[in-house]
Structure 1
Amino acid sequence: MQLNGKQVLLTGGNGGIGKALSAILREQGAHVTVIDRTAGENTRVTNLADADELDALCETLKVQRVDILINLAGLMYFGHLPEQSAAHLSTMLTVNLEVPIRLAQAVLPGMLEREEGQIVNIGSVFGSLAFPHFTTYSATKAGLKGFSEALRREYAGKGIDVTHIAPRAVKTPLNDAKIEELHRRTSVTNDSPERVAKHIANAIVHKHKNVAIGQPESFFMRLNALLPGVIDRALVGKRDIANEILGSYKA
């Protein structure tokens, strides 16, 4: 796909990955509109967790040309499941899962009318390799993966391409001190936002269906699908490390 002149809508575009991705897409001639809570270049400031603001955005998108929708915005929670507040859980479910679905609903009619369009959902390896203490985050990313697969099959042959991309750990402000310590103690590799952005841009241009970034994570995702018990046992030790870290940060 040639990106020159394409109208791109990117949620979470003012974050680490988003800024790097916007720059790449603009270099290739795309017109990128960013949806973010913070102001930035060509940004529509929107709180996607606010029902009224989300409704207003969807109404706008129904009459606005969008050639490529990139659902990047997301929230993370690392902690014991009972300690996640109901408010934070609700916001995470909205931003990580409801928002991509709602935005896809809004742009699909126009794409179908033009018989061309691409929806790109940025998930996580945790969507296929669920990690203890990232329980609700893993659940939302698994849901996004399922949505992407079903959507692709629903509109096969209609000119709509659906791309799902699963990065591994990325060095962004989403990683607080506890997560950084977990990564260090479990030897997790953190990719740079720039590296991830390049993978996303490449997947868009080549219309890839499913992309998992990084090894050995990609291998373990496939192994988990075949032998989940093996992964269960492998992650018990990491769970215990996470318990130690979470305990050490309690007030």
Structure 2
Amino acid sequence: MRWSDRRILITGASGGIGRELVTLLAQRGARLLIVGRNASVLKTLAALAPDRIHTLSADLTMPDDRHRVVEIAEETRIDMLINAAGVNHFGLFDEQSPVAISSMVDLNVTATLLLTQALLPRLLHENSAWIVNLGSAFGAIGHPGYTAYCTTKFALRGFSQALRRELADTPVQVLHISPGPPGPA
């Protein structure tokens, strides 16, 4: 299937990797539903292809916002979900607040799992659908100062592996991508 035939939901679209994915996929002609917390960035991205990009400002940790995303994803009949939403805080584990740790787990793990689960019935109706989870190289190796973040990315990697096996006999493919740090400019 060509990119121009895809209807893709991208979470975390107003952030670094998500924003780059929107730009790249818009250039390739995909129809996009882009979700993020920063409405002004989403609006700017939508200008890349106003006829093919629909925006939705949402906080995926909030059940009502996730529900709105699922409703619009149903209406636009997405056939690919790219889970790029995530947050990272550097700091020694014993110095991080419980609130910071909890918010990282809520977005990086819980919201991703619950959104994916809610969208599975939609994706299973397609002849060919994809779930793409963006992890991190820190999901394969623990790194000092990123203990909580690494934990969430290890969880996302395990989720992707297990879900891929669960859906092996369905039209839904699950891919986990683990980008590393950017190289020199």
TM superposition score normalised by structure 1: 0.64
2:102 to 90, 93, 116: 90
Q: If you compute each CA radius of gyration, which structure gives the higher value, 1 or 2?
A: 1
1:81 to 68, 93, 104: 93
Q: Any idea what the Cα deviations from partners look like across 1:156-205, whole Å, max 9, x if unmatched? A: 121111110001114xxxxxxxxxxxxxxxxxx46x7xxxxxxxxxxxxx
What is the aligned partner in structure 2 of residue 129 from structure 1? 141
Take 1:3 and 1:86, find their aligned partners in 2: how far apart are those partners? 42
Contact 1:77 1:134 in 2 (8 A): yes
What is the aligned partner in structure 2 of residue 7 from structure 1? 7
* Backbone CA RMSD of aligned residues: 1.8
Take 1:65 and 1:76, find their aligned partners in 2: how far apart are those partners? 31
Residue 64 of structure 1 deviates from its aligned partner by 4.6
Contact 2:163 2:174 in 1 (8 A): yes
Q: Any idea what the Cα deviations from partners look like across 1:15-62, whole Å, max 9, x if unmatched? A: 232222112111222111111001122320001233332244335445
Residue 177 of structure 2 aligns to which amino acid in structure 1?
A: I
What is the aligned partner in structure 1 of residue 170 from structure 2? 158
Correspondence 1:21 to 2:21: yes
What is the aligned partner in structure 1 of residue 158 from structure 2? 146
Take 2:69 and 2:181, find their aligned partners in 1: how far apart are those partners? 30
Take 1:10 and 1:94, find their aligned partners in 2: how far apart are those partners? 18
Choose between structure 1 and 2: higher helix proportion. 1
Change (3 A) 1:70 1:100: same
Residue 162 of structure 1 aligns to which amino acid in structure 2?
A: V
Total equivalences in the alignment = 173
Correspondence 1:47 to 2:27: no
* 3-state SS in 2 of match to 1:89: helix
Contact 2:58 2:65 in 1 (8 A): yes
* Identical positions, percent: 38
Q: Which runs of 5+ in 1 are unaligned?
A: 171-188, 193-251
Q: Which runs of 5+ in 2 are unaligned?
A: 47-53
Residue 75 of structure 1 deviates from its aligned partner by 0.6
Residue 29 of structure 2 aligns to which amino acid in structure 1?
A: G
* 3-state SS in 1 of match to 2:125: helix
TM superposition score normalised by structure 2: 0.85
